[in-house]
Amino acid sequence: MTTLGVNIDHIANVRQARKTVEPDPVQFAFLAELGGADSITVHLREDRRHIQDRDIFLLKETIKTKLNLEMAATKEMLEISKKLLPDYVTLVPEKREEVTTEGGLDVKSNVNYLKNFVGYLKDSNIQVSAFIDPLNEQINYSKEIGFDFIELHTGKYAELKGYDQYKELQRIIESTHEANSMGLIVNAGHGLNYNNVEKIASIDNMNELNIGHSIVARALAVGLEKSVREMKSLITQN
Ligand code: PXP
């Protein structure tokens, strides 16, 4: 059965917009687990634009499911992850100027560096995933480097429509089978929402989907009316 990893970065985005204490992603991780999240995903960015160091250490102490730390393959992040010991690390490319992770990690161009990096994480018993585009050569190199998992980038699938989207779906299906046959566990994510998730979730041996933005957007849609009613009631009762 495919499981759900809930990415709570966007809760932290709202907090950081005011640099205050709410909404606290740690508390919302608890609610995500109540809703059935099988893991909690956070991306600790170099510029700390949303998730903070404090969040990941509190999450590690408080969540009951699994912690998936997304990070760039840098020395700073290696040190942090070896202290944190999350259940797994997903290596992602990171550019300061991007709004969100744009493409997959180019594992092919960084084989030796990544072999060492993944080795250091595995020495600390952390399982490691590579967020890659659904391309055969990236899958082959992920296997060679020693990743336990890959996370297939579904951003393009999410953006495309009609026959183009169908072709991208076939590419993701073939990539999943290819990676599975090499012994890699396959996750997927990026841009998945309430309209496009089912076709990806029903791929044979799809392990876990990591979803953030659409879930947080839906939380606003289903929760805003109640929160306005509560405020209105406080204002009008006097
Ligand atoms: N997987 C990875 C590796 C990501 O970087 C992100 C975005 O932070 C996601 C999944 C979730 O994407 P979305 O917020 O579009 O659901």
CATH code for position 116: 3.20.20.70
Q: How confident is the model at residue 51 (pLDDT cuts 50, 70, 90)?
A: very high
Residue 146 CA, ligand 1 centroid: distance in Å = 22
Q: What Rg value do the Cα atoms of the chain yield, rounded?
A: 18
User: pLDDT digits over 204-237, tens only?
Assistant: 999 999 999 999 999 999 999 999 999 999 999 8
Residue 227 CA, ligand 1 centroid: distance in Å = 27
Give yes or no for residue 101 having a pLDDT over 90.
no
Phi, psi (deg, nearest 5) at residue 167? -65, -40
User: pLDDT digits over 152-173, tens only?
Assistant: 999 999 999 999 999 999 999 9
Give me the pLDDT at residue 99, please.
72
Mean pLDDT (the chain) is 96
From the alpha carbon of 9, which atom of ligand 1 is closest? Answer: 8
For the segment 112-137, the average pLDDT, to the nearest whole number, is: 97
- Number of structural domains found in the chain: 1
Residue 191 CA, ligand 1 centroid: distance in Å = 7
Q: Is the pTM of this model over 0.85?
A: yes
Q: What sign does the dihedral 41-35-190-1 (CA atoms) show?
A: positive
Structural domain containing residue 23? 3-236
For the segment 144-158, the average pLDDT, to the nearest whole number, is: 98
Distance (Å, whole) CA 6 – CA 68: 10
Give me the pLDDT at residue 115, please.
98
For residue 18, count CB atoms less than 10 angstroms from its CB and return exposed for 0-12, middle for 13-18, buried for 19 or more. exposed
Give yes or no for residue 97 having a pLDDT over 80.
no
From the alpha carbon of 43, which atom of ligand 1 is closest? Answer: 8
Residue 101 or 82, more confident: 82
Mutate to test the pocket of ligand 1, among 46, 70, 197, 216 (most ligand atoms within 8 A of CB): 70
Query: Residues 6 or more apart from 203 whose CB is under 8 A from it?
Result: 2, 172, 173, 176, 188
User: pLDDT digits over 181-202, tens only?
Assistant: 999 999 999 999 999 999 999 9
Give me the pLDDT at residue 22, please.
97
Give me the pLDDT at residue 181, please.
98
